[in-house]
Every structure is written in C-alpha cells, then in structure tokens.
Amino acid sequence: MIILETLKKPHPFIFNRLSVLIPAVITFAVLLIFRPFEFDGFSVVQLLSWSGGFALLVCLSVWITVWVVKKSLPDTLEENWTVGKEILLILFVIAIIGLAIFLLFLVLNPRADRAFLFRLVFVRTLVISFFPVLVMVLFEQSHHQKIKWREVESLNRNLQQKQDTIEQESMPKEKIILVAENQKIALQLTPEDLLFIKSEGNYLEVFYRQHQKIQIELIRNSLKAIEEQLPANDFFRCHKSFLINLRHIQKATGNARNLELILENIVEKIPVSRSKSATLLQVFKQSR
C-alpha cells in the first residue's frame, strides 16, 4: 500500500540538456571504471573509443525516447506525471539503450551466442539499473518537494502582506466587459466578482460571483484574448489554462510537481506553472 502511494506521488516532468548529458557521462564513467561486458581486455584507446561510442548512443536513445513520449502523449503529460511514471520512463530508456547495445554487439560478432549475449547485455543492464533508478527518482521527488515547500512558504508570507494591503484599497466598481470570439458581449461584471477563468478546448469557463453564489459562464474565445480585456494589476495568467483574480487567493499549497492556489469559495485547486511561480512571487512583492 505504501509502495503504491509512493508511486502515485506527483513528480516533475523535466527534460533538458542535463537529462541527456548526465546519463551519457554516467555511462562513460561506469564503462571506464568497472569495465563490464568484457571490456577489461581492451587497451586504453579501445576503452576510451568504446566508452565514448556508448555514451553517444545513450544520448541519442534518451533524446529520441523522451521526444517520442512527449509527442505521443497528450498535453497534460507534465501535469499528471508521477514517481511511478518517472521510474517506468527511465527504465524504458535503459531498456532501449540495452537493446541497442545488444544489437550493436550482435552486428560486430554475428556468430556470438545470442541468448548469452542478450542476458549479458540487456538483462544485466536492466537488473543493475533498477535499484539506482529507484533511489535516484525518490531522491529527486524529495528534493523537488522541499523546493516547493520553500516556495509555498514564501508565497504565503507575501500573500498575507498583499492581502493586508488590499484590505485598505477598494477595487474599481466599473464593470468589465468580456467579449466572445464573434465580438459579441458575453458577460459584464465588476472585477471583484470575477474569480478565475479556465480554458477548456475552444471555450472558456468563467467562474464569477453573483448574489453570493458561484456562477459559471461558457464563452467561446482564447484565454489570451480575454486576458487582454482584463486589468493587469488584478489578474494573473498563472498557467496556460488558468487566469486568476489575485484578490481572491486565500493561500498557496504545493507538491513536488507544481504549486497550487486555493481561491475563496472554490473547491478546485488552481495549478501554477513552474515558469510562473517566480513571477507570481514578484507580483506579490511589487503590489505591497
């Protein structure tokens, strides 16, 4: 039960140059130091050449595999990524690398015992890699969780100070007009009554307050177009699919994957993109 809960924990999906470089460097170092796959009989030049070749193969395998995963899975990939998915992805990449190495050895030595070579290269690669991968992912999850906790604490401190300032200010009473894609007026309301807007395909769900109740209005338009219709001082694009009213944020929470905002009288937690969390903190600091 504990294992299943751990595998379901949120985990950031991060793919950059280091995601390709680090596995390649580790592969190069392991082959040089431990000399597996009967590399101990190689000369220094052969060892360097083969280790460099395998490192390059690892680079290509990681890049191609992750590129295919990102292209084949939906846009919500990063928002639904977990510890279990991260482990499976890394093991899958390792399996691809092991298979590529096996085929390379087979091409170089077509008379080799294929079953023995498969066990030596592919199976051994997976077995040796499993425990380090598990430890690495759990360490990353814990590390990113601590980073998010610090961000949450900082956001909540600055949010409290911002709220103290807001209480001394009154929000403009002039109604804002939200225009649909066909340029027709879809909704008129005061800025204070608009809570947040959520993008759903070609439509927007506008959550607003009317007669002390939460209402939802469906508008056909892009979030970018609606954002341009709102006062920038009070509204913030915290995510590619969410636009929020800064005055209605109660507190911030978070996990290893991302930050989330809790709004007044709203059950749904609003996600904050990794690229937007620092900007949101600056907004809080500047508005004090």
Tell me the pLDDT tens digit for each residue of 117-170: 888 888 887 887 888 888 888 888 898 999 889 989 988 988 887 776 665 566
pLDDT at 207 > cutoff 90: yes
The two tokens of residue 181 are: 């894609």
Q: What is the pLDDT of residue 76?
A: 66
The mean predicted confidence, pLDDT, of the chain is 85
Give the pLDDT of residue 168. 57
Nearest to 23 by CA among 89, 78, 68: 89
Residue 99 identity (one-letter amino acid): L
pLDDT of residue 32: 81
pLDDT score of 28: 85
Q: How far apart are CA 67 and CA 90, in angstroms?
A: 13
pLDDT top residue among 52 and 38: 52
pLDDT given at position 26: 82
Residue ranges and CATH numbers for the domains of the chain are 2-148 (no CATH), 155-286 (2.40.50.1020)
Nearby residues of 219 by Cβ (< 8 Å), 6 or more positions away = 178, 180, 186, 187, 203, 204, 206, 226
Amino acid 203: pLDDT: 92
Q: What are the angstrom distances between the C-alpha of 132 and each of 65, 104, 129?
A: 20, 25, 6
Model-level pTM?
A: 0.78
17 secondary structure, DSSP code: H
pLDDT at 222: 92
